[in-house]
Chains A and B, each alone.
Chain A
């Protein structure tokens, strides 16, 4: 039997191109406020933080560090899920919220959040001086910003695309909003949430490694974890520890994949809404084991019993809530139901936002006013350099990932074979390898100015590869047969079928790859390898240096410019390109 084409979920579906509105302007202004706030926080930081992390390089200590890193990732993922549920639900239920939240998400997911890292670390250190709490918070916050947005979009989209008859059926059954949420909306979104969670986790490792190994000039902000283990090992030139750290990372990624994601992916097949069963039914030995084993089943029964007992035990406590319930439920309903009250509420919300946005822009202006003409010239030239590097890295990544993706995607056998491998490889956080790559490149004679491009390729390439594979795998079998029947040469095949069919996914991949490259620039242009600091001119190194030298106006300028370039380029180039490609080259409508 011929293998059916793989049905890979399109991980990176671009949000539809909306018309720009006032809300977008407000969100940009608010972003300015965020920049000003981060910088203001960072300014509070006074005492040089000298508590360098003491890392034990013995192999026995490695599991402990691995667990530290893992728990940071998992905690951030849980927070991301909570955020995504709250955010998606609010945006899908209230049109007013939708009009504000979508532009916000749009900007949040395209700004290079790593640009905020130096300021954020300094800011949170000022809140919790001389302790690791600030650093831990900064790490979790950073991972969160890498994980949350696509989850939120996924949940929002699931809610919006829920078939109306299902909603009607649940309403006719008298389901309230909480029952509908748990029994209809959440299950219907489960697949998207799990697949996106898997991606988010991979993105999270990237940020975590940067965070755990973060140093700014003389200051050492490393946190105990795999990232810092690796960086200390490199400092001391301990090749064995370097190797062990890489092995530990791979073991962690593979185990999380096998023990957490695989079972979840198989389990959520149950919640597929469309009737078409997927061609390749994923399997998981862990889930098989759990399903077959007696103990988990017993545990489930026990858990049910425990739940019931708990409910019964808390019944007296529920009484006040039940008494207050009509008030809690009806008061907002009354408030929202009254047209005057609703208009007032909306007006208050809009006014509040306008004030916040105005204040944000004003504070940012106060900061940026301190910059002289030469500062701006330096910012502009650095931005230009980094921009060239980002585009170069996207081009390089495309040059290898597009052909590779087409070759893998057009053969179902190969795709099925390679997919799990690529998934693990792609989850491996590139920043962990940056120092090694830099040393290798220096041996060949490439300086950081060019080498940074290679590092940025590492940060963005997988998005392109994944998207191309799934697009090519989705080409209908008959189209492939048609090019065979008409005896197209292999060049003509690529030109007339594979490249056009891959193009929409490629364009979508570019958006994310470029985003990854911008984030990568923060790390790649300013790096501590071994004992020595290596930097090259660019916006990324400018931001790090400005923070290290407490030049806060320049820091604000750097972040602002970077955010504006990325958001603007997304808006004006990537997204129109992606949506044009979508309408022009989409296979099978």
Chain B
């Protein structure tokens, strides 16, 4: 199937959220995306890049702060009736049977009586759930639950199928099986589905499903790049072309996740770099693993696979280690530096000393230390949080603060008094 005319479109969409602590986070900034008929679009990117937010906007479940959403050229008003959605958490009502869950969208579309029973039976049959009509969701396994999710979506014969990490909560075997079925459903003219938009975390999944892959960057969410994938369906995951496509997507994602440091113009005002929100043990774990590899190096996606960490988290850990000067990242390769080797050879006390020296030079920690000195050895949480909100409007300040406290405590730079809600300088 070749993509046809534009079906669903987001034009210069910006979306903001207010966090419970009052901070306003910009989830998407000026995003434009056109979904055409007969195509499968995958939205990929690091967590917090707003890809799920965009999906909800496309579904008409939320209104953008700025910009416009159009369905067949008409502005979207309320929920998009031509679409159905599949959720990561399944979102089945536990008090309804499988059949009743599948029928959820039919009543309000005026399908009643025998027609409704037929539609439900057909949808249940499409996903291979015959015999489970009267079961309650809690009696089903995760994969079966998601089949119900698909059946509920298919029952209304939607033109567009929106999927938010539909296989994210399933075990790998079940996920693979359902993935191929999803492609089958899309190619099967009997389902009526002609277009799919899928949010996913997995590179292989995007390459397997989509004809067009949109890569998002974060802080705030924006479209970085689009990749057209013309591999013929059904796709073979072990084929050379498939692997090549995966590698291309890896490269794009790496450029997004581990950007090459830009040489800062000397005259430019100094900007505070955020500190990667990772744990101490994650960084030392990475260094440990690199030590076991020949030359202390490896591509980031291979590392993430070997260690069983998703690539998004992996690249955050790599960024953290890089900020401390323990690894460098030429392209997709993560390379242990001499300083990194050195620190792994030290005992605990010496390692803490070395980390302390590194952290005090990091501009963000330097700033907090300055605040502490100014406050004669102590500073209120509120003050630091307010500072973080100003410097990093796209990062939840609470979570960054927790990271800072963990590293500060580990390096014995400062301590945190949770009862009094303030940081105190440790003098050594």
Contacts and interface: CB of A to CB of B under 8 A. Distances in A.
B87 interface: yes
Contacts of B91: 163, 165-166, 168-169
A301 interface: no
Interface string A262-286: 0000000011110101000000000
Contacts of A58: none
Which residue among B90, B93, B156, B419 has the maximum number of chain A CB atoms within 10 Å of its CB? B93
Contacts of B206: none
Interface in B128-171: 136, 138, 152, 156
B109 interface: yes
Contacts of B136: 270
A169 B87 CA distance: 8
Contacts of B87: 165, 168-169
Interface in B94-144: 94-96, 104-105, 107-109, 136, 138
A478 interface: no
B276 interface: no
Contact of B104 (A169, A271, A275): A169
A307 B24 CA distance: 50
Nearest to B103: A173
B81 interface: yes
A171 B61 contact: yes
A549 interface: no
B32 interface: no
B84 interface: yes
Contacts of B56: 168
A480 interface: no
B314 interface: no
A176 interface: yes
Nearest to A273: B94
Interface stretch (A22-30, A179-187, A202-210, A527-535): A179-187
B368 interface: no
A174 B79 contact: yes
Contacts of A166: 91, 93
A291 to B, nearest CB: 15
B304 interface: no
A157 interface: no
A171 to B, nearest CB: 5
Contacts of B215: none
Contacts of B107: 179
A423 interface: no
B388 interface: no
Which residue among B81, B108, B109 has the maximum number of chain A CB atoms within 10 Å of its CB? B108
* Contact count band on B: 20 to 34
Chief secondary structure at chain A's binding surface: helix
A172 B85 contact: yes
B81 A174 contact: yes
A170 interface: yes
Nearest to B138: A275
Contacts of A168: 56, 59, 61, 85, 87, 91
Given A168-B85, A168-B87, A187 B79 contact: no
A191 to B, nearest CB: 11
A351 B171 CA distance: 57
B83 interface: yes
B229 interface: no
Contacts of A165: 87-91
Given A168-B56, A168-B61, A168-B87, A176 B108 contact: yes
A175 B89 contact: no
Nearest to B142: A275
A172 B83 contact: yes
Which residue among B56, B61, B95, B96 has the maximum number of chain A CB atoms within 10 Å of its CB? B95
Contacts of B108: 173-176, 179
A174 B109 contact: yes
Interface string B349-381: 000000000000000000000000000000000
B79 A277 contact: no
B89 A172 contact: no
A165 B88 CA distance: 9
B85 A169 contact: yes
A175 B109 CA distance: 10
Contacts of A173: 104-105, 108, 152, 156
Contacts of B85: 168-169, 172
A273 B156 CA distance: 25
Interface string A155-170: 0000000010110111
A185 B202 CA distance: 34
Contacts of B93: 166, 169, 183-184, 187
Nearest to A183: B93
Contacts of B156: 173
Nearest to A175: B108
A172 B95 contact: no
Nearest to A168: B61
Contacts of B138: 275, 277
Contacts of B419: 584
A584 B93 CA distance: 36
Interface string B74-85: 000001010111
Contacts of B88: 165
Which residue among B61, B104, B136 has the maximum number of chain A CB atoms within 10 Å of its CB? B104
A173 B85 CA distance: 9
A156 B89 CA distance: 23
B94 A172 contact: no
A248 to B, nearest CB: 37
Nearest to B85: A172
Nearest to A584: B419
Interface string A235-271: 0000000000000000000000000000000000011
The list of the 3 closest CB pairs from A to B, nearest first, reads A174-B108, A173-B105, A165-B91
Interface of B: 56, 59, 61, 79, 81, 83-85, 87-96, 104-105, 107-109, 136, 138, 152, 156, 419
Interface of A: 163, 165-166, 168-176, 179, 183-184, 187, 270-273, 275, 277, 584
Given A169-B93, A173-B152, A270-B95, 20 more contacts: A166-B93, A168-B91, A169-B87, A169-B91, A169-B104, A170-B104, A171-B61, A171-B79, A172-B61, A172-B79, A172-B85, A174-B81, A174-B109, A175-B104, A179-B108, A270-B94, A271-B94, A272-B94, A275-B94, A584-B419
29 contacts: A165-B88, A165-B89, A168-B59, A168-B61, A168-B85, A169-B87, A169-B91, A169-B152, A172-B61, A172-B79, A172-B83, A172-B105, A173-B104, A173-B105, A173-B108, A173-B152, A174-B79, A174-B105, A179-B107, A183-B93, A183-B96, A184-B93, A187-B93, A187-B95, A272-B94, A275-B94, A275-B138, A277-B138, A584-B419
